[in-house]
Amino acid sequence: MLEAYGLSPLHRLGQNFLHDHNILNKLVDASGVVEGDVVLEIGPGTGTLTETLLERGCIVVACELDRGLTELLTDRLGNSITLIHGDCLQKKQLNKEVVEALGDRTWRLVANLPYQIASPLLVDLLSNQPNCLGQFVTIQYEVAQRLMAKVDSDNWGVLSILVQRLAEVSMITKAPNTCFWPKPKITSACVGVIPKENMSLSDNKEFALFVTALFAKRRKQLGSIIGRDVALPEGIEAEARPSTLTIEQLELLFQIVKTLKV
């Protein structure tokens, strides 16, 4: 198909096409989509996953950055999907044209994500898109490990905290590089990210800035970062380092620091 359109995979756009139908079906099965469900697909490529979603009776809104692939998808799938040509992220937020196409309907993200956009997209959808019922995506295995990291581990950091504060993360399956064409040098994984019920987003942006600033000095002691004269919450020592704090402890610390700034 690519040769017929004079196209080839573009490394700069992270174009590694997932062709293993076993992995594709596991991803779609985990999403729980049924006939009539609205699905957002980012980076549909040649439409292999898109076809699987259409076979399940899903209403697909797809966003593709590559103009050549947009033409290919239009010819291949016609009006069976809503296809938007452009970058899915604009200033780290979901493309306004995509938001308009989704409207006020609830939806799920099911996608083989380009590697470079995975982290900011996951965080944006959790923080700013309450109609998103879940994200079921193929990403770098390394990013999946960060999403599911435990406190005080090497992978515990800003991404782990921001996502786990708002969602439950689960591993669906690993995806070896042989499942893709061309073969990437890394292993991938399919994960599910499901928003927690009754989560509050009122201070999410401020909390994200706080955690980002704190982990920029992750090897320093809290007393050195926020001042040793600050009364810390019970159970948190001034000698502790940011990477040893749970999300609950970070929440308590955030409230104290926020009050001090006022």
* pLDDT band of 261, cuts 50, 70, 90: low
pLDDT (mean) for 109-126: 94
Q: Where are the alpha helices (DSSP H) in 129-230?
A: 141-147, 158-166, 204-215, 222-226
117, 180: one domain: yes
Q: Which pLDDT score is estimated for 14? A: 79
pLDDT (mean) for 223-230: 90
> What is the Cα 213 distance to its own chain's centre?
21
Q: Are 55 and 83 in contact (CB under 8 A)?
A: no
> CB-based contacts of 3: which residues, under 8 Å, 6+ apart?
none
Q: Which domain holds residue 227?
A: 204-261
pTM reported for the whole predicted model: 0.94
10 Å Cβ neighbour count for 91?
Answer: 5
10 Å Cβ neighbour count for 220?
Answer: 12
Q: Are 93 and 124 in contact (CB under 8 A)?
A: yes
What 3-state DSSP class applies to 101?
Answer: helix
Tell me the CA distances in angstroms from 134 to 36, 110, 248, one per residue in order.
16, 9, 23
180, 223: one domain: no
27, 135: one domain: yes
Among 45-49, 133-137, 229-233, the minimum mean pLDDT is found in 229-233
- Alpha-carbon distance of 65 to 9, in angstroms, equals 13
76, 162: one domain: yes
Q: Which residue has the higher pLDDT, 114 or 14?
A: 114
255, 165: one domain: no
At residue 52, does pLDDT exceed 90? Answer: yes
Domain count, the chain: 2
List the one residue out of 146, 153, 137, 182 whose CA is nearest residue 26.
Answer: 137
* pLDDT band of 170, cuts 50, 70, 90: very high
Share of the chain above pLDDT 90, in %: 83
62, 115: one domain: yes
* pLDDT band of 115, cuts 50, 70, 90: confident
pLDDT (mean) for 105-118: 95
Q: Which pLDDT score is estimated for 207? A: 94
47, 113: one domain: yes
183, 222: one domain: no
pLDDT (mean) for 72-101: 96
155, 235: one domain: no
Rg (CA), the chain: 20
> CB-based contacts of 213: which residues, under 8 Å, 6+ apart?
none
Q: Are 168 and 247 in contact (CB under 8 A)?
A: no
Q: Are 95 and 86 in contact (CB under 8 A)?
A: yes
103, 209: one domain: no
Q: Which pLDDT score is estimated for 201? A: 73
In the block, which residue shows the tokens 């938007």? 84
Question: CATH code at 215?
Answer: 1.10.8.100
* pLDDT band of 15, cuts 50, 70, 90: confident
- Alpha-carbon distance of 127 to 49, in angstroms, equals 26
> CB-based contacts of 222: which residues, under 8 Å, 6+ apart?
232, 236, 237, 238, 239, 240, 241, 242, 253
Q: Which pLDDT score is estimated for 199? A: 74
* pLDDT band of 258, cuts 50, 70, 90: confident
Q: Which pLDDT score is estimated for 262? A: 44
| DSSP 8-state assignment for residue 129 | -
The residue out of 195, 223, 247 marking a domain boundary is: 195
105, 180: one domain: yes
The per-residue pLDDT for range 185-222, each reduced to its tens digit, is: 999 999 999 999 877 777 889 999 999 999 999 999 99
The per-residue pLDDT for range 54-75, each reduced to its tens digit, is: 999 999 999 999 999 999 999 9
147, 212: one domain: no
Q: Are 240 and 221 in contact (CB under 8 A)?
A: yes
Question: CATH code at 67?
Answer: 3.40.50.150
> What is the Cα 189 distance to its own chain's centre?
12
- Average pLDDT of the chain, as a whole number: 94
In the block, which residue shows the tokens 């083989």? 112
> To which H or E segment does residue 192 belong?
strand 188-195
